[in-house]
């Protein structure tokens, strides 16, 4: 049975911070961030958005009324959960108007959660038990405040929503064509509701170890891959070049310049939008899919593309997909480039104000989010446009409504 992603949308947040501004404010070399780490901007949420609103705002334009009625499985992958018990998926189910006869649950596995959710959904469809039902998989995450930290430059936010069905217009999963690798490591962690921390060097090594282990398992189970292109999980763009060289060295002895040319041909197009969003956590490979389809002119329907997913903690998976016959149409419909262009350009002072306001609200039980400031951004971008927004907390119950 053919299953895969029928449609895909990304919500890149409504605010952006340019790296040249942040580097100037922090006294950091812009070339290091722009050229080595391959980051140009990062997405930022206003105080009246959170992982729930991002998930809904990503999926809402994706779904027709017919789509909504067909969804019998909803999985939301996030490491930015807003409740210790209640899953984000219940809010998403409500505000998207999905039918009551729909399984829903939340998945947490760092940046691997979205891939786990996609594989679960595809396996359910392929089992034949879904009938005519479809699945909705959403990834949604945002970073904590990290003022002055070395990893402040790689933070970001965003959500991706994908309709998974037996009509793989964007891409088809080659079911069973995957290698995976698990190793317990405390590389990055969110041990409390206020803390997001870890060891970046350990995380880099674990990412590369996971790639090697998943690749070897893929070869063992499927055979040596013949990928036309490859998309890597992207906490920052520069790590994907290191990952590509890791795979190349297994079979070739290319110079660094030759390795870059190979990378530029096979993987660099996936960074088109990721460079403008910063770290998108579990969404990154799906943002990369849109970048690859929109940018790689030599990509054709039926081409086999490898996707490497990694989540701290850790789990890694290398799997293969086939480009769908309507991939370019589906990607064009997502209009991600236009959405990125529409974001409000923050000053560093405004960015710090947003993050401080969000930080003071963590664990608070009663407050109302501010809709003022930032060039009257709420009135210009949100009011009467039907976005889901977060109004605040009332006796520890989250309050949402339409703008």
Out of 6, 49, 72, 79, pick the active-site residue. 79
CA–CA separation, 231 vs 284, rounded Å? 9
Quote the crossing angle between the two packed helices 237-248 and 200-221, to the nearest 10°: 40
CA–CA separation, 14 vs 344, rounded Å? 6
Is 111 tagged catalytic? yes
Phi, psi of 284 (to 5 degrees): -60, -40
Out of 72, 111, 317, 355, pick the active-site residue. 111
Helix (H, G, I), strand (E, B) or coil at 164: strand
Helix (H, G, I), strand (E, B) or coil at 2: coil
Q: Name every residue whose Cβ is closer than 8 Å to that of residue 267 and which is 6 or more positions away in sequence.
A: 229, 230, 231, 232, 240, 241, 244
Give me the sign of the Cα torsion angle 343, 345, 346, 348.
positive
Contact predicate 5/327, CB 8 Å: no
Out of 233, 315, 350, 355, pick the active-site residue. 233
Alpha helices, DSSP H, located in 127-227: 200-221
Is 350 tagged catalytic? no
Catalytic positions are: 79, 111, 233
């Amino acid at each position: 049975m053919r299953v895969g992603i029928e449609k895909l949308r990304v919500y890149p947040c409504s605010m952006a911070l340019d790296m040249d501004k942040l580097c100037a404010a922090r006294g950091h070399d812009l070339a290091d961030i722009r050229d080595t780490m391959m980051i140009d901007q990062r997405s930022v949420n206003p105080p009246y958005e959170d992982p729930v609103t991002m998930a809904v705002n990503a999926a809402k334009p994706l779904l027709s009324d017919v789509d909504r009625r067909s969804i019998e499985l909803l999985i939301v992958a996030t490491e930015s959960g807003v409740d210790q018990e209640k899953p984000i998926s219940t809010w998403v189910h409500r505000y998207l108007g999905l039918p009551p006869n729909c399984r829903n649950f939340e998945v947490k596995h760092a940046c691997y959660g979205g891939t786990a959710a996609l594989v679960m959904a595809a396996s359910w469809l392929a089992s034949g038990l879904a009938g005519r039902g479809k699945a909705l998989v959403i990834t949604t995450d945002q970073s904590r405040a990290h003022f002055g930290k070395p990893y402040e430059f790689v933070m970001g936010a965003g959500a991706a929503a994908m309709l998974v069905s037996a009509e793989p217009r964007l891409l088809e999963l080659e079911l069973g064509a995957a290698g995976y690798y698990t190793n317990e490591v405390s590389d990055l962690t969110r041990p409390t509701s206020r803390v997001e921390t870890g060891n970046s060097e350990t995380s880099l090594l674990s990412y590369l170890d996971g790639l090697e282990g998943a690749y070897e398992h893929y070869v063992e189970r499927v055979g040596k891959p013949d990928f036309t292109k490859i998309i890597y999980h992207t906490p920052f763009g520069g790590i994907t070049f290191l990952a590509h060289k890791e795979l190349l060295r297994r079979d070739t002895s290319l110079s660094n310049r030759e390795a870059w040319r190979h990378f530029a041909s096979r993987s660099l197009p996936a960074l088109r939008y990721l460079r403008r969003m910063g770290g998108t956590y579990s969404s990154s490979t799906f943002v990369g899919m849109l970048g690859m389809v929109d940018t790689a002119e030599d990509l054709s329907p039926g081409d086999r593309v490898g996707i490497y997913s990694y989540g701290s903690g850790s789990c890694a998976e290398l799997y293969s997909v086939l480009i769908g016959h309507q991939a370019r149409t589906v990607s064009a419909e997502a209009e991600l480039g236009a959405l990125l262009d529409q974001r409000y350009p923050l000053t560093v002072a405004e960015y710090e104000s947003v993050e401080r306001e969000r930080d003071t609200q963590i664990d608070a039980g009663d407050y109302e989010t501010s809709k003022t400031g930032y060039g009257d951004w709420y009135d210009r971008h949100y009011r009467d446009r039907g976005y889901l927004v977060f109004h605040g907390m009332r006796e520890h119950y989250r309050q949402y409504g339409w703008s």
